[in-house]
Every structure is written in structure tokens, then in C-alpha cells.
Amino acid sequence: MLAGAPDPDPRSAFVARWLLGCAVAAAVGAGLGLVEAARVASGRVIEATLVADAAAHAWVARTDDAAGESALAHLERGHPGVAGVFVVAEGGVDEFGIARGTALTRGKVATADARALLDHAKRVTAEAARSLASGTPMDAETLQARLPGDRLAVAVPLRDAKDRNALVGVAGALMGPTPPSGALPAWWIPVVVGVLAALAAMGRNRWRRALDGAVAVGAGAIWWAWQPALPAAPSSGVAVLGGAMLVPHTAPPAAEPLTVAHVAVAALATALLAGWVATPLARVFDGARKDLVPYLYIGPAMAATTLLIFVPFAVGVGLSFVDRSGNFVGADHYAEVLRSITDANSSTHFGRTLAMTVLWTVVNVTLHVTLGLGLALVLNRPHLRGRALYRLLLIVPWAVPSYITALTWKWLFNTQAGPLNAMLVALGLDRVDWLGTSPWTNFAANLATNVWLGFPFMMVISLGALQSIPAELYEAADMDGGSGWQKFRHITLPLLRPALFPAVILGTIWTFNAFNVIWLVSGGGPDHQTDILITEAYYTFTVLRRTGLAAAYSVLIFLLLLGYTLVTNRLTRATQAVGA
Amino acid sequence: MRAWWPHLLLVPVTALTLYPVLYVVKLAFSGTAGVSSSPSPLPDRFEWSAFGKVVGTADAQGQWLFGHQLWNSLAVSAVTTLAGIALACTAAYAFARFEFPGRRAGLLGFLATQMFPGILTLIPLYVLIQKLGLLDSLWGLVLVYSTTTIPFCTWTLKGYFDTLPKEIEESAIIDGATRLQIFLRIILPLSAPAIAVTALFSFMSAWNEFVLAYTFLSKEAAYTLPVMIRGYVGEKDVQWSLFAASSLLVSVPVMALFYAAEKHLVGGLTAGGVKG
């Protein structure tokens, strides 16, 4: 942090590095473990589905029951991870005219499981009937059933060869408990990489830690390369049978395999974190050992904000890398958002919305400042009668809750009953469909609302700053024969700037995120053309239900705001330095 | 040498500013029968039926909805304010008076939270609140509101504590006071006005919050007042006079608070900005 700060006490430094090391090991271990578990689970589902498809194929193609039986036995032998292959046939009527009902007819399945498999077959058949009736493919999820003892059954429904809307049963595969995967047990990777990362975090200086971090990355990459490959997902659930006899269903989702690149990025990030966080953390421990009191004072507030702001923020950032079924998708969501700049058919419109947001912010803030400053200059005239009353009335818009303002203006712009159109009609003009199909009238409505809402703040700030300018300066200028404009240019403006600059920055951030106005007045319409970034992100989350995409979108908004603040902070400091 | 032309400018601008507000007042008093669409903002009649209808709303089970929602808003705002201020006061005091490692990082971290887009934290919070089973409960809102106001309140209060002269505390230490005594007996009473203003701000932002409440609450009896008002302006069924009447009921108290605290509010807002 500070260049000249003393090195922390070695004991504090050790404790800090040790704690960080444990945290890094736990995070790396848990993260890699979760991803690996997801990969293995998805591989299992895919293998079971492939075997179920093959079993259905064998059963449909059989010449007699004995041939079918031997084909199923052959399948079982070929897949050691599969505990059993089964076919559940709908009974029809036997030669005595008695309904046979549903029966588990083939396969090496223990009788204890027969009940569960029959129940599952019933559910799948019911779902399949529904999907045949509606003409939509079945969800791959509905084909799966979890059985006690960490076992998994996947069943695919079969159609009748003659009446293709009738169902004759299901064929499926029963997977045994998850086996330890391949050459090395799955938990080795997380543990080894975690321990290496922990060691890396405990290095003596930051360069050493970064170097050790890189070694941990390399180790992770090598372990990873040794992992056995898992079966690839079929592009469609009915690929094996060509779709003729199976009820169409979606392919089971494949977990994106964790690639070396992912491990590298994650471990490098943790190594860097460990490298640059250890010393400041050690200073905090040092401080706490010398004097615990300040930490007791900020502790509760820190704990609350960490739990409910920082952690959700981090989780939100994490969610942007994960799809709806919890699979790691890397930067796909970011790519999708950025692709939407050029692709008109995508579900978001980042480029267009960003342009709209910038236009919206610039026009609004310009009008706020012009109006606010102009009114403040008039109000600040000496001997103005009724100044307090004017001020009181002009800040009314600031006092009104913003959602009420927005809804009120929505009413003012109402096409049929709104007073604005009534005014136009009284003047002999046509009604305007303000919130209708034109993006520009919608924008105008939003703009009018937000200008009304925002100018009092700038006015009050300007007025306060104007009143703090000593009158002697103007008197001196008068003596030197300065004109009104010269006084404004050389006295008023320079002295206003320190107060106005932060207000403009604050106002820009508020306008940039003016959710209530856009959401409640135009609703982003027509067709999202007046959406700003924050409303489109909210729409993506609440209406489209694309959590990951919405999270990626929000991260981009945050980065834009952060960049803006950093740049303006520099500028403010520069102007303050000049002014001082 | 009183100039008259400023009034030529100020009167129309003030009239334009007040127009929407006056129109809401007119709508609110126009009764439930139907609203006139004349552009004049002056009330053409004084009927209280819209207010009566808003206040008297009951749901299918005969629960008094307005009462429930008023209580919800009051309770959420009050608890939010108390919890937020209690935590912010101690943190602000530490930031203002102690020099300790991590102070700068903490202050900057609090500042950074103001830039987090609400939607990004909304997503995990929604899942968290759902997991805790607090989706239609007031505690979910209290939890979220109070933590989101802490950083702002901390910055504002720190700005005030910075202006208190250190000599008072130094002489108290000589007299044998502990630091906790100084904080409770000297600093807190001295900054009562600043704390009151910050509390008012916190109360108002909870009272006026719309998006989170709209996202978290789905049962009418659990609504806060802003969500209730939004309900009168639905997609299909728009009841403008009820909207106007409920808006007046909800915003008049909060506007009174605003005017009471306004002078100090401006100072607090800009003090944080200039020093940040």
C-alpha cells in the first residue's frame, strides 16, 4: 500500500500468510472439486443415456425375446460402469384376455430395485404421452431418476411400431455408485493443487509467491492432462436410434470440461491475490495485536457489509461464469453480451443500449447543470424578493419519491386522458402517442421526467456554492471595471468548480442508473429501444430468467462505472491541484 | 434597485415545476367516478372517496390491506434505520478517530459499494433470501436495506466526526475517561443533529425503495407502500385517482421529513463527495 510503510512484524506476517494459504487451498480445492464432481456427474448421465439409447435400439431390432435378452446382456458386459440394463414393457392383453399391466420384463436388475424402476417408467411414460400430444421434445432431466445408494437410472420411452402415438414401454440403464474415476481419484487434483497453492501463498515475498503460484498452476495442468476422458454427449437424445422409435428428447447437458486454461487462470489469480494481499493483511494483524479497539468498532459494520454486499457481489461475479444448470461456461456470457453489439437477433442489445445510456446520461446531466446553475444564478441576485419561497417550491421534485414522480409523468404523457395531449388538443394540434411506437417520443417522456426530477439537486448545490463566494471579489472586479461576463468567467465559474464537480460525478452515476424512471415511464419500450443498461440487465434477470447473462451484463456495467469514477477522480484531483 | 425581470423567469419555471404535483392533488380529489382530462391543474371538485377507497382496501379474506402495508413500510423503515445507524456510528467513529492498518482499504471498500450495480447483488441476494425462506417476509427487506445504507451512513457520519475538535477528547482522557465513555458520553451527544439527519435519510430511502421490494414480495399483505402504489397503475387496469390519492398519503409525510432535514442533507452529500 504505502511506499514507506514499515514491514509488519514477522509473526503477524507468518500468521497472515498461513491463513491466506489455508484460504487459498480451501478455495482451490473446493472449486476444483466442485467442477470435477460436475464433470464426472455429467459424464455418468451421458454414459447412461447412451446405453439406454443402445438398449432401446437392441430391443426394437430384436427378432425374438431371446435375441433381445442376449443383446441386453452384451451391452451390460461392454459397459463396466453400468450395473444393469432393463426394458419395461407395457402389457397390452394376454391370450386369456387379462390385462398384463406394466412389467419389468428384461434385464439383470435386483428385485429390490424393480419397484423403483417401474415407478420411474410410469412417470417417464406419462411425460412422454404429454410430450407426444404437445409435440415438444422431452427434457433430458425427466428421463433421469436418482436411486438410493448414489445410483442413477436413465430410461428412454419407446413408441409402438404401427401406432406411433402409442407408447409400448421404456428401455434404460441403471448406473452403479460413482466409481473412483480412472487413473487417479478425483480428489487428488484439488488437494495437490490446493496444497501447492497454499505453499505458494506462504512464500516470503510477493515475487516468490507469484513464482510458486505458477508452479502450482503447472502442477494442476499436468494432473489435469492425466485425467481420463469421459464419453462425449450425443448432439441429440435420439441420435442413436435415428428418432424413428424413440420419443424425441433433448440431449443430456455436457459439463464443460475444465481445461488447462481455466486451471491456469484460476490458479494465477489466486497466486497473485496471495502475493499482493499477504502484506496488507499482516499489517492488519499487527495493528490488531497492538490495539484491538478500532477493529471492534468497525467489526459489526464490516461483517454485515461483507456478508450482504461483498459476498453477494463476488457470488454475482461468479454466477456470470456459470450457466443455468450450474455448468462452468467460461467467458461465454461475456462473449454473448459483446456479440450482441453486432448481432441484432440476440436477446440483449448491449451496443445499442450503451449508446442510449450515454446519450441519456449526457443530455440529462447537461440539462440538469444548465437549468440548475441558471436558476441558482437568478436566485442568487442580491435583493431578490421571495427567494426563500422560490427555493422552497423549486426543490419540490427532489422531495417527491422518484417512483411516484415516474408514475405521475407516465400519466401526464397518457395518450387518451393525459393532460399534455389535452393541452395539444386545446391548441388545435393532434394528439401524440407519447409512449407508443416511436423511440424518440418515449425518450422525450423519460427525459422530461428525469430533468424535472434532477435539476433541483444541481440548483441547491450551485446556490450553496454561489453564496459562499465572498462579495469582496465582485466589488474588487467592479472597481477594476470588469463586465458581467468577465466576472462570471473569472470569479464565479472557477470558484463554483470544486463544489460542482463532485455533484456532476454523483449526478452522472445516479442518471446512469436511473432505473425507476426508465422502468416505470417508457418501460424501455418500444422493443427495448429506450432501455438503459441497468433496466436491460434487470429485464434479462427477471423476465428472460437468464441469471448468468444478467450477471455478466451487470459486471460490465460495474466496470464502466468504475472506469468512469477512476478517470473523473483523477480529473477532480487535477483541477483541485490547479485551483489550490 | 430591485430588478423585476428575475420574476418573469422564475414564476413560469416554478409553475412548470409545480404542475405535475398540483395535477396529482387534483386527481386525488377527483373521486373514484372518473377523471377529467382538462389540462388545468386546479382541482374542479373536492371528493374524498379516492382516499377512502385506498385506506379501506381489504383483500378476499377481509384483511385490512392498507393497514398491513402501512405497518410493513413503517416497521421495515424503522428497523432498517435503527440497525443501520447503530452499525454506521461505531464504524464511522473508528474511521474518523483511529489510525489503524486497513483503514484506507475499508474506507475505499465502502466507497466502492456505492458503485456496485444493484442488480448484480440482487441476483445472489434473491437466491439467499429465498433459501432462508424470507422472500415474503419483512426481515428479508430489513436485512438488505440496512446493510446497503451502512456504507453511505458511515461516510456521512465520518465526515461529521472529522469536524469535531479533538481537544475535547484529549481533555476527557486526562480526566480519566475510557474511549468507550468518550464515544458514548461525548461524541454521540455532540453529533446528535448529524445522526438525526443521517437517520432521516436512511428512513426515507427505505420508505421510498421500490425495486427490491417489488422483486422480493409477491403476497399483497406483505407489500410495502411503494409496491401497493405500483399496483394501481397495472398493465391492464389503471386507477389514476387511487394512484394519486395513495401517492399523496405516502409522500406527504416523507416530504415533510425531507424539508426538515434538507439543509443538512446537502452538506452531508457533498462533504463525502469532496473528500472522497
pLDDT digits (tens, 9 = 90+) for A294-307: 899 988 999 988 88
CB under 8 Å to A342, separation ≥6 — which residues? Answer: A351
> Using 50, 70 and 90 to split pLDDT, how confident is the model at A336?
confident
Mean pLDDT over all residues of chain B?
82
> Using 50, 70 and 90 to split pLDDT, how confident is the model at A69?
confident
Can you tell me which residue has the cell 502475493?
A275
End-to-end CA distance of chain A: 26
> Using 50, 70 and 90 to split pLDDT, how confident is the model at A556?
very high
**CA nearest A301: which of B216, B195, B155?**
B155
Among chain A residues, the shortest Cα distance to B230 is held by A407
| Count of CA atoms in the C-beta half-sphere (13 A) of A308 | 21
SS3 A151: strand
> Using 50, 70 and 90 to split pLDDT, how confident is the model at A223?
low
Instruction: Give pLDDT tens digits for B116-137.
Output: 777 778 878 887 787 788 788 8
Can you tell me which residue has the cell 374542479?
B44
Q: Measure A573 CA to nearest chain B CA, in Å.
A: 10
Region A222-235 average pLDDT: 66
Instruction: Give pLDDT tens digits for A75-97.
Output: 888 787 788 888 887 755 444 44
If one counts every other C-beta atom within 10 angstroms of the C-beta of residue A279, the result is: 18
pLDDT of residue A364: 96
Highest mean pLDDT pick, A205-219, A259-273, A322-336, B71-85:
B71-85
With both helix axes pointing from N to C terminus, report the angle between B240-275 and A402-412 in degrees, rounded to the nearest 10: 130
Q: Measure A149 CA to nearest chain B CA, in Å.
A: 26
> Using 50, 70 and 90 to split pLDDT, how confident is the model at A139?
confident
Residues of B in contact with A319 (CB under 8 A): 123-124
> Using 50, 70 and 90 to split pLDDT, how confident is the model at A370?
very high
B91 interfaces chain A, CB cutoff of 8 Å = yes
B35 interfaces chain A, CB cutoff of 8 Å = yes
Record: contact B109-A310, CB cut-off 8 A: yes
Which ipTM score applies to this complex?
0.85
pLDDT of residue A360: 95
- Cβ-count burial A432-442 (b if 16+ within 10 Å, e if not): bebbeeeeebb
If one counts every other C-beta atom within 10 angstroms of the C-beta of residue B9, the result is: 12
Mean pLDDT over all residues of chain A?
79
Q: State the Cα angle at B220 between B219 and B223, rounded to 5°.
A: 90
If one counts every other C-beta atom within 10 angstroms of the C-beta of residue A396, the result is: 18
B229 interfaces chain A, CB cutoff of 8 Å = yes
H/E stretch holding A267: helix A260-290
Record: contact A304-B150, CB cut-off 8 A: yes
Region A14-40 average pLDDT: 71
Is the confidence at residue B44, as pLDDT, over 80? Answer: no
If one counts every other C-beta atom within 10 angstroms of the C-beta of residue B127, the result is: 14
B27 interfaces chain A, CB cutoff of 8 Å = yes
Quote the CA–CA distance of A194 and A200 in Å, as a whole number.
Answer: 10
Mutation site for B-interface testing, chosen from A1, A296, A305 by largest number of B Cβ within 10 Å:
A305
- Percent of chain B clearing pLDDT 70 (strictly above): 91
Closest partner residue to B266 (CB to CB) among A312, A460, A515 is: A460
Quote the CA–CA distance of B30 and A438 in Å, as a whole number.
Answer: 32
Record: contact B226-A403, CB cut-off 8 A: yes
User: A49 near A141, Cβ under 8 Å?
Assistant: no
B147 interfaces chain A, CB cutoff of 8 Å = yes
With both helix axes pointing from N to C terminus, report the angle between A350-379 and B5-28 in degrees, rounded to the nearest 10: 120
pLDDT of residue A362: 95
Q: Measure B29 CA to nearest chain A CA, in Å.
A: 15
**CA nearest A125: which of A61, A86, A174, A168?**
A168
Lowest mean pLDDT among A136-145, A394-403, A424-433, A461-470: A136-145
Quote the CA–CA distance of A390 and B9 in Å, as a whole number.
Answer: 11
Among chain A residues, the shortest Cα distance to B214 is held by A542
Quote the CA–CA distance of A357 and A360 in Å, as a whole number.
Answer: 5
pLDDT: which is higher, A30 or A548: A548
Region B55-67 average pLDDT: 78
Can you tell me which residue has the cell 417522456?
A445
CA A3 to the chain's CA centroid: 37
pLDDT of residue B272: 43
Highest mean pLDDT pick, A10-14, A541-545, B186-190:
B186-190
Is the confidence at residue A490, as pLDDT, over 50? Answer: yes
H/E stretch holding B89: helix B65-97
pLDDT of residue B276: 32
Length of chain A: 580
Cis peptide before B6 (omega within 30 of 0): no
pTM of the model: 0.71
Q: Measure A248 CA to nearest chain B CA, in Å.
A: 33
Record: contact B147-A499, CB cut-off 8 A: no
Mutation site for A-interface testing, chosen from B9, B16, B100, B240 by largest number of A Cβ within 10 Å:
B100
pLDDT of residue A228: 62
Residues of A in contact with B150 (CB under 8 A): 301, 304-305
Q: State the Cα angle at A558 between A553 and A563, rounded to 5°.
A: 130
Closest partner residue to A300 (CB to CB) among B23, B37, B90 is: B90
| Residue A181 burial by Cβ neighbours in a 10 Å radius (0-12, 13-18, 19+) | middle
Mutation site for B-interface testing, chosen from A290, A408, A452, A496 by largest number of B Cβ within 10 Å:
A408
Region B12-19 average pLDDT: 91
Residues of A in contact with B258 (CB under 8 A): 398-399
If one counts every other C-beta atom within 10 angstroms of the C-beta of residue A463, the result is: 22
- Percent of chain A clearing pLDDT 90 (strictly above): 11
Is the confidence at residue A208, as pLDDT, over 50? Answer: yes
Q: Measure A378 CA to nearest chain B CA, in Å.
A: 6
Size of interface A-B (CB pairs under 8 A): 247
> Using 50, 70 and 90 to split pLDDT, how confident is the model at A455?
very high
> Using 50, 70 and 90 to split pLDDT, how confident is the model at A34?
low
> Using 50, 70 and 90 to split pLDDT, how confident is the model at A44?
confident
Q: Measure A274 CA to nearest chain B CA, in Å.
A: 16
Reading the block at residue A105, the C-alpha cell is: 420384463
Q: Measure B136 CA to nearest chain A CA, in Å.
A: 17
pLDDT: which is higher, A323 or B48: B48
Residues of B in contact with A499 (CB under 8 A): 270, 274
CB under 8 Å to A250, separation ≥6 — which residues? Answer: A137, A138, A139, A140, A236, A237
Q: Measure A314 CA to nearest chain B CA, in Å.
A: 8
Mutation site for A-interface testing, chosen from B79, B119, B207 by largest number of A Cβ within 10 Å:
B119
CA A541 to each of CA A307, A550, A559, B24, B219: distance values in angstroms, whole numbers, following the listed order = 22, 5, 19, 33, 21
**CA nearest A165: which of A129, A125, A124, A122?**
A129
Residues of B in contact with A412 (CB under 8 A): 20, 23
If one counts every other C-beta atom within 10 angstroms of the C-beta of residue A306, the result is: 15
Question: What are the backbone dihedrals phi and psi of residue A328, each rounded to the nearest 5 degrees, phi first?
Answer: -75, 125
pLDDT of residue A239: 64
B115 interfaces chain A, CB cutoff of 8 Å = yes
Region B18-42 average pLDDT: 81
Q: Measure A538 CA to nearest chain B CA, in Å.
A: 6
pLDDT of residue A450: 94
Quote the CA–CA distance of A345 and A363 in Å, as a whole number.
Answer: 28
B226 interfaces chain A, CB cutoff of 8 Å = yes
φ/ψ region of A107 (left if φ > 0, alpha if ψ in -120 to 50, else beta) reads left
Residues of B in contact with A407 (CB under 8 A): 229-230, 233, 243, 247
pLDDT of residue A358: 95
pLDDT: which is higher, B43 or A370: A370
Is the confidence at residue B1, as pLDDT, over 60? Answer: no
pLDDT of residue B80: 92
Record: contact A307-B147, CB cut-off 8 A: yes
B142 interfaces chain A, CB cutoff of 8 Å = no
Reading the block at residue B112, the C-alpha cell is: 466502492
Q: Measure A153 CA to nearest chain B CA, in Å.
A: 28
User: A181 near A196, Cβ under 8 Å?
Assistant: no
